[in-house]
Chain A
């Protein structure tokens, strides 16, 4: 739970995938739900599956930049009023991509095994509404009070994942599963608690500025510093090649997935899982910047108390000196410190009910935690597998306070060949400037289970915990 609560970022595969039928990769969302009832499969080498995801907390690019009206109808405008209206106190934008190079699985009897190799990256940026207020209104409205920026920052990671899945049908009702993941970090940037506050009294005689925060970096980058410790430049490491980057095994990590599926009766199954509970320890090419700056700025002293009568300084010299003082007060301390990052864990709760011989209806809750806030999404879906060849899922989701998420999952088999795709919001790709949630999964499998020819009856087998 500590690991889960500490997760700073999130990424997600489409909820629509969870209950799709006949897709082996449903195990990615619940390791107890491998979408294969027997035989083996492997995915297209070098293009096994691709996950793309971008989401915000209910604000869109279009809220910030859109076409103007009247004299500006031929121009884009920056609309901070509209942007602020769409924001919460704490806000984020999150992007992720995962690319599975190779994956294969095998099910015999009650046991299912699978292995996969995936490259993953994600980037997050979070900021408070107060920061936008400062940009739009400046600090003058805060004279006589304290302005708090709120925590801002972000992070990015690229890591490699070797996953080993196992699930077992314990009895006719219960299937349990898990995945052990060995991780190798390639590069990471992560901020912690970056914020600042500005206090000024009613008479405006001073600005009391405090800034705190920490940035951890693991990347093939070297920083150069002045004699006072200020960063003067950043350069890539000499003689560090792309090969060095890709075979970097110095940042190990581990993660697990756990899940179960339990058939309450012949028609209804409940399931739950926790995905990506783990962390990566970053040791190679690490740099930590820590900021603990404070400066009380009162303006330029018009008289030098050491002299009588007062000596009035030249502005140029005073301003130069002030610049030096301020930059040194807010100079982050640097060190070479190892650090750890948590993976973005997710929890799923699902219920699936067989409505008739063709259609199942399902409900799914996904819980994610980012920036110490819980994000819950709800998805309802109808799922079917027709002629063992065509897997269809139609879904509706409520995500991050958005209610216009109509999703679709589609899988087509031709013999052993299968291609599938799923997305939680069908329309986002067509209107990206208005999108709050965009995700897409696409993958190609070769399945050797004796099905896909439309002759098997096993998909109606009530003892099978696979979702078809």
Chain B
């Protein structure tokens, strides 16, 4: 087996769905909730983030140098939406960089976020140090006209995140 210690690398790309969710705008409305006649500003309104606790779970492996997140977004609101993924501590302090989606147009169905969110080794280390994964959403008034909060609050959007990772089998 020692003679295989310098063997060439076998690095298949393994893929799996990671997480999915559908969120109603009013469920993520900031406190206090805007009035129904509150116009959604062009610069956008931040919704309450979705925080996923990852304490006790490690996402790193010696066999994986990089992970690519594949995100599809369905925007069933009349507003444009921006989505951002980041890693935070229990006190809410961000660790490392965030991964913004860019603007997702109103009505977009299964919209692929490109480029893929690539998590290199530093990002994986940041994820390991973080206690939570934070998904932030921003509602933005579309260029076509003003939208008030009351017209949006019952709408929802959904996000599906999967990933693929080149896995170095020799390092498993």
Contact = CB atoms under 8 A, between A and B. Distances in A.
Contact of A68 (B6, B27, B51, B70): B6
Contacts, number: 131
Contact of B15 (A138, A298, A300): A138
Nearest to A205: B160
Given A204-B15, A299-B16, A300-B18, A75 B5 contact: yes
B62 interface: no
A272 B18 CA distance: 61
B162 interface: yes
B20 A205 contact: yes
A238 interface: no
B145 interface: no
Majority DSSP secondary structure for residues of B touching A: strand
Interface in B66-106: 70, 72
Nearest to A303: B21
B23 A206 contact: no
B50 A139 contact: no
Contacts of A78: 4, 7-8, 10
B161 interface: yes
A312 B53 contact: yes
Interface residues of A, number: 42
Interface string A203-217: 111110000000000
Interface stretch (A92-100, A161-169, A222-230, A314-322): A314-322
Contacts of B160: 203-205, 299
A118 to B, nearest CB: 36
B72 A76 contact: no
A270 interface: no
A433 interface: no
B interface bracket (residues with beta carbon within 8 Å of A): 35 or more
A312 B51 contact: yes
A80 interface: yes
Given A200-B15, A316-B57, 18 more contacts: A72-B8, A78-B8, A134-B12, A138-B13, A139-B12, A140-B13, A207-B17, A298-B17, A298-B20, A299-B16, A299-B17, A301-B19, A301-B21, A302-B52, A302-B135, A303-B50, A310-B27, A316-B55
16 contacts: A76-B7, A77-B8, A134-B12, A135-B10, A136-B12, A138-B15, A139-B15, A140-B15, A140-B164, A204-B70, A205-B17, A205-B160, A301-B20, A302-B52, A302-B135, A310-B23
- Closest 9 pairs between A and B when the two form their complex, measured CB to CB: A302-B21, A138-B12, A299-B17, A140-B13, A75-B6, A316-B56, A204-B162, A140-B15, A138-B13
